[in-house]
Structure 1
Amino acid sequence: MLKYLKCSYRVLSLLNKPHLELTHLHQIQSHLITSGAISDPFAAGKLISSLVSLDHSHAYAVFLRLPHKSTYLWNTILRSFVEKKDSHNALSVYKMMMCCGFLPNNYTFSFVLRGCVEIGDVGFGLLCHAQVIKLGWECYDFVQNGLIHFYVSCDLMRCARMLFDVSLNRDVVTWTAVLNGYVKSGEIAAAKELFDRMAERNVVSWSVMINGYVKVGCFKEALEIFKEMQMSGVRPNHAAIVGALSACGSLGAFDQGKWIHAYVDRSKMELDTVLGTALIDMYAKCGSVEVACRVFEEMPCRDVYAFTALISGLSNHGNSAMAVELLKRMDDEGIKPNEVTFMCILSACARVGLVDEGLRVFESMTSIYGIKPGVQHYGCLVDLLGRAGLLEQAKVVVRDMPMQPDIYVLGALLNACRVHGDADLGKEMVKGLINHGLDHSGVHVLLSNIYASADQWDHVERVRKGMVEKEVIKVPGCSLIEVGGVVVEFVAGDRSHAHMEEIESFWIQNDMHLKSLSLDSHILLS
């Protein structure tokens, strides 16, 4: 018998060989069963570990029939379910383990917490945390890290920060997890405070901070972090590059965007759909539509986001016909447009008055692509009709909408009233906006402009007085300009710029020069 068992353990050594096929594993399993070696948890563990990667369901069935189990075996099955993204069964296995009298160890909790994160089961995660404390595993580094990741993933940042602050061995991964949690929840100030305290930063930490600033619209700060990252000697990764390009596009920082593109080429980074779309978006927003088209054509693979970015760019720069053509090209390449694609196409049609084409596109959303138009699409349709002077048709669209019109829909009709001088309909639209609680400065300014266009100055005065009485504050206008690779922001009424006097002097002289040229032209013509 002893000799037979020794032979069985020699058979186990075969499990260490690479490229084993399932039939071989079944033969080894049969040998272990007939020899009785399957009762040894070590032998069973070796077999189960090999089986789970090739035939998970069979491995689980063998596991359930084992006469003797160990914590290692339970952990092996737990991990296999988590790695297969079947966390519901993983948590069921954990409950079964507890019912069978097996105490979990630190490895067990790392798998269970990953399962809780995947399915968002906060209650079970809190229960696990209680068991961690009860069994004395809370001082182990990767158990603490697992708990911190769990709380961060479930947006429980207060709990995550409490654990983080008492943790004695925090590595860069733990720091970055908490940093990412703050960014996800929009707490950019807390993220920056933590980022500044990090003794060690990896490329993920930097990219998280860059994209965090982009997420909350702090584009200048995002580029400053990107520059600081390079100065620290850290090579930007894919995520950092995409975030920086997004910031450049939003700021119109063309020179910096071109430099980043050159860096991508020098580094031979793959022009995948995400990076390609970011470049298209940046060039289009910076006014270089030709380069955006070139990047689009150079992409080895294009998806709906790349098409939509280029359609949006073409539409914003007056190339509406090309934008509409791209929708047909999407059909040819078998790429289905999404809701945003249709918003961009409808906006393109509205800008150049392609009413029939726009109506056809709107109709095709449901009839061809099976996409139910949203309130934004109705806003684009109203804008299309309104710009073309078809105010009554636009009014019918607003009246017959299957959902409540929002500020974009009513605002589009109000703007059409301004363009075409329909003061009565404009006043009616303003009442609708006020009834919807959308009584902001832009609405009053539009109504004032409508009355001014109709030479109804007494009404203009009433609107202005009403704004004062209601304490409606007009948001000041602002503009951005890139000088020497640095983006400078100017806000109406703000004189805080260091060179404001020189700037004003230049514009006064420029204005006087233009007036003199205009006067000279008038004299010559007369």
Structure 2
Amino acid sequence: MLKWLSSFALPQHRTILLCALDSCSDPHHLRQILARAVSSGLWFEPFVSARIVAAFAASDLSFAQFAFDASPRRSAFSYTAMIRAHSAGPAPSNSLYIFSCMLHSGLYPDRFVFPFLLRATARCRSPVSAVHAMAARHGLDEDPHVVTSLLHSYGSCGLFDSARKVFDEKTQRTEVNWCAIISCFARSGQHSLLHDGISLFGQLISTGGRPNGDIVIAALSCCAGLGSMSQGKALHALFFRHLTDLSVELGTALINMYGRCGGLTAARKVFDEIRYKDSSTWTAMIGGLAMNGHGEEALTFFSGMVDRRFWPDSITFTAVLNACSHAGLVETGIKLFKDMKEVYGIEARMEHYGAVVDMLGRAGMLEQAGQVVASMPFAPNRVVWGSLLHACAVLGEPRYWEMLEKRFLELGLTVEQDEDEKVVVDVGFLVGLSNVYAGTCRWQKVGTVREKMVARGVKKEIAFSLLEVDGRTHRFLVYLNDVKNDSKLIILKLKRVESI
């Protein structure tokens, strides 16, 4: 195609240039096409320049921006291409700036712009409601693609009430809308929202809807978060009624659900029934075994995975290292941690270092755990330091306590900034430090830590346990019943607070 392209110089050969753009994705060849378009005069046609910008946006964002800035006359298509490229790029806020320029140029956005604009808004944590209002102003807030993007954006920003409102106001709901709202609640991790996700799935069934595989997977994630095996089994049975083929994605979701609910026998049965497995299927089975204390069996599955030439990823190694941690297999865990980089070429991330530190701390190897923390190529977060603190509390090593407290204060981890530069009060550290001091009856220190918590306005979220009996999930809280000051004896009791 490039040979044909070099043989023409007349504008009437624009079809050849457009065909060359459709068949080319290499940035070097695209630059040749751009040069030919400029020399032939086709570059000054808005449609051609927009197609060239769109082609660069899919392969070379920096040069696409250059071509976009040099466009003699920008069209809505070229603006949309750049908004789409920046929404998935390293600086999603550029999409909002380009959208603003698009409005100032007198062009009106269409239904193709807002999904990418909403994705950029969610990534850079800008107000989703502003884009929502703009879509409503142009009469596009009822478009199925825009509605789905609104649900994902509100969910990504933690605005679950707004997402539910958008869904409830939608009169004509598609399968994609149902999947988006249930997936939104599944990712929330909040008990009430997980229950709402399952309720929405039931509502879909009661209205005669036929759930597809993606909707079933989202509902299974809600069951896994609630630990509700009975409802997960009901979804499993429903799958056989509405869906004929056990896909890899659906099988992996079933394994994850059974594993998190403690049903390892059912998880293994589903695993054996999947005809064509992939790395995610093996990882789900390894994670379920690790979560339920079957560390050695998890390692056996990992070996079988490698022997069958399934390449493990970073999530697989997180599950395997956690299995070694809970099973006390320190030497095996250290070897796997080294092989992750040397054999499999996977760079260790924060969760891998956290699993290794937790593994060494559980084994009482605090010196080695401290060396691992010191060797990290990036600053350890509060989870890594919290693992060391927990190990000190369990092992009763007072010489580390003061050092850890000083280290936390030096790093500012009691009031830490997360990736989105929002201030996060580290409740876990303060509570853990208080428990460490209480373990050795250093009540004055306990009082000091508690005063810090009150001064910062820190409130620990009440923990609860879920217990499923006869298909109903019961939630229990621990409450204080009596305190005997003479012996420092605290009597705690369980109290059922909710039945679902």
Match of 2:160 in 1: 188
Instruction: Decide which of 118, 142, 147 is 2:85's aligned counterpart.
Output: 118
Q: 1:478 to 1:117 in 2, by over 3 A?
A: same
Which of 289, 294, 300 in structure 2 is aligned with 1:325?
300
Deviates more, 1:382-391 or 1:348-357: 382-391
CA distance in 2, matches of 1:51, 1:420: 68
Amino acid at match of 2:464: C
1:360 CA drift (Å): 1.5
Q: Report 1:69-108 matches (<5 A).
A: 74=48, 77=51, 81=55, 99=72, 108=75
- How far is 1:359 from its partner? 2.0
How much has 1:294 moved relative to structure 2?
Answer: 2.5
Is 1:423–1:451's contact at 8 Å kept on the other side of the alignment? no
Structure-2 separation of matches of 1:83 and 1:402:
33
Q: Distance in 2 between matches of 1:80 and 1:428?
A: 55
* Kept after mapping to 2: 8 A contact 1:147/1:160: no
Return the alpha-carbon distance in structure 1 between the equivalents of residues 19 and 145 of structure 2.
30
* 1:205 matches 2:177: yes
User: Which protein has the bigger strand share?
Assistant: 2
The residue correspondences of 1:23-38 to structure 2 (distance < 5 A) are: none
Aligned residues of 1:441 and 1:474 also touching (Cα < 8 A): yes
Q: Deviations over 1:68-126 (max 9, x none)?
A: 89969638945983897677777777777x63xxx77xxx5246413431244524443
Q: Is the 8 A contact 1:87 1:116 kept in 2?
A: no
Q: Which of 319, 322, 328 is equivalent to 1:353?
A: 328
Q: Aligned partners of 1:375, 1:352: CA distance in 2, in Å? A: 21
Q: Does 1:216 find its partner at 2:202?
A: no
Partner residue in 2 for 1:152: 118
CA spacing shift, 1:396–1:116, aligned 2, 3 Å: closer
Code of the aligned partner of 1:151: L
2:57–2:82 Cα contact (<8 Å) kept: no
> CA separation in 2, counterparts of 1:70 and 1:375?
50
Structure 2 stretches lacking a partner, 5+ long:
88-93, 415-425, 481-493
Q: Does 1:228 align with 2:203?
A: yes
| 2:388 aligned partner, one-letter code | L
Deviations 1:26-73 (A, max 9, x none): 8xx9xxx9xxxx9896xx677777776567979969977878899696
For 1:324-366, what per-residue CA distance to the aligned partner results, in whole angstroms no more than 9, with x for missing partners? Answer: 1223223223333233322322221222221221221222223
CA distance in 2, matches of 1:434, 1:95: 48
**Structure 1 pair 151/357, CA: closer, same or farther in 2 (3 Å)?**
closer
Aligned pair 1:258/2:230, yes or no? no
Aligned to 1:127: 101
Q: Decide which moves more: 315-324 or 187-196.
A: 187-196
- Aligned-partner Cα distance in 1 for 2:201–2:175: 11
- Structure having the larger proportion of residues in helix: 1
The answer as to 2:348 corresponding to 1:376 is: no
| Contact 1:78/1:112 (8 A) holds in 2 | no
Matched, 1:465 2:447: yes
Aligned residue in 2 for 1:17:
none
Is 1:295 aligned to 2:270, yes or no? yes
Query: What fraction of aligned residue pairs are identical, expressed as a percent?
Result: 27
Q: 2:228 and 2:277 mapped to 1: Cα distance?
A: 25
1:476-491 equivalence runs, <5 A: 476-483=462-469, 485-491=471-477
Alignment of 1:274-423 (within 5 A): 274-423=249-398
CA pair 354-468 structure 1, distance change in 2 beyond 3 A: closer
Query: Is 1:167 matched up with 2:134?
Result: no
Superposed CA deviations along residues 131-187 of structure 1, whole A, max 9, x for unmatched, are 3x2xxx63xxxx432343342232163442232222246433333333333233332
- The alpha-carbon deviation at position 287 of structure 1 amounts to 0.3
2 CA distance for matches of 1:465 and 1:95? 62
Describe the SS at the equivalent of 2:111: helix
2:495 and 2:66 map into 1 onto residues whose CA distance is 72
The TM-score normalised by the length of structure 1 is: 0.71
Q: Which has the larger radius of gyration?
A: 1
- How many Å separate the matches in 2 of 1:53 and 1:431? 60
Query: Does structure 2 retain, via aligned residues, the 8 Å contact 1:477–1:491?
Result: yes
Q: Which amino acid aligns with 2:315?
A: V
Question: Aligned equivalents of 1:399 and 1:69: distance in 2?
Answer: 56
Structure 1 SS opposite 2:186: helix
Secondary structure of 1:220's counterpart equals helix
Looking at structure 1, the residues matched to 327 and 401 of structure 2 have their Cα atoms a distance apart, in angstroms, of 23
What is the 5 A alignment of 1:48-87? 74=48, 77=51, 81=55
Gap regions ≥5 residues in structure 1:
1-21, 495-502, 506-526
Q: Displacement, 1:467? A: 4.0
Question: 1:382, 1:40 → 2: CA distance?
Answer: 66
Describe the SS at the equivalent of 1:479: strand
CA–CA distance in structure 2, aligned partners of residues 83 and 352 of structure 1: 49
- Deviation, 1:289, is 1.3
Distance 1:437 1:127, change over 3 A: closer
Matched, 1:475 2:477: no
Letter in structure 1 aligned against 2:100: L
The SS at the match of 2:360 is helix
Is the contact between residue 357 and residue 387 of structure 2 (CA under 8 Å) also seen in structure 1?
yes
Secondary structure of the equivalent of 2:312? coil
For the Cα contact (< 8 Å) 1:148–1:178, is it kept in 2?
no
TM-score (norm 2): 0.74
Q: Is the 8 A contact 1:481 1:487 kept in 2?
A: yes
Residue 94 to residue 343, structure 1, CA distance change in 2 (3 Å)? closer
Please give the alpha-carbon distance, in whole angstroms, between the structure 2 residues aligned to 1:232 and 1:369.
49
The 3-state SS of whatever aligns with 2:211 is: coil
Tell me how large the CA RMSD over aligned residues is: 4.0
Contact kept in structure 2, 1:45 and 1:73, CA below 8 Å: no
* 8 Å Cα contact 1:82-1:111 kept in structure 2: no
Residues 130 and 326 of structure 1: CA distance in aligned 2, closer, same or farther (over 3 Å): same
Q: Distance in 2 between matches of 1:54 and 1:185?
A: 38
SS of residue paired to 1:189: helix
